[in-house]
Amino acid sequence: MTRVALKVDLTPLKNEACEIIDAQAEVERAKYVTAGALQAMTYQAKNAEAVDFLNGGTGPFPLLLAESTALGISLSELAITVNNMAKQWIQISSVIEAKRIGAKAAIKNATTPAAIKAVMVDWQING
């Protein structure tokens, strides 16, 4: 008797696994920043103001001014804090992104359902 190898389309399973990895990465990101596209835009705009301020720009700095007034701190103090937080976020985000992309590559290269399901990510951020 001749054995016939059946070709199984792993695309749906791979797509689902990649969606799970993306969702897990988003959960991990939310541990460090407030989730939401508009909040992310606010963080980016505020850091752009901070960089401009720290580089001697003349403004206006509406986001920094609103927050510094609300907190009762100087624009300079807030600009330094915001920029330092943005730099820390880049470090954290790069670790999460490397893990996310690595897991999705492993899923893409998997040749069996078991290999796809075996892809696990340790989302812990060290250092």
What average pLDDT values come out for the chain (127 residues) when binned by 10 residues?
Answer: 77 96 94 89 96 96 97 97 96 96 97 94 84
The distance from CA 26 to its chain's CA centroid, rounded to whole angstroms, is 7
**pLDDT at res. 35:** 83
pTM check: above 0.95? no
Question: Is the Cβ–Cβ distance between 117 and 17 less than 8 Å?
Answer: yes
Please name the helix (run of DSSP H) or strand (run of DSSP E) that holds residue 12, with its range, or none: helix 11-29
**pLDDT at res. 126:** 76
Residue extents of the structural domains in the chain: 11-117
Enter the DSSP assignment of 125.
P
Residue 52 has φ and ψ, to the nearest 5°, of -60, -45
**pLDDT at res. 125:** 87
**pLDDT at res. 127:** 54
**pLDDT at res. 6:** 72
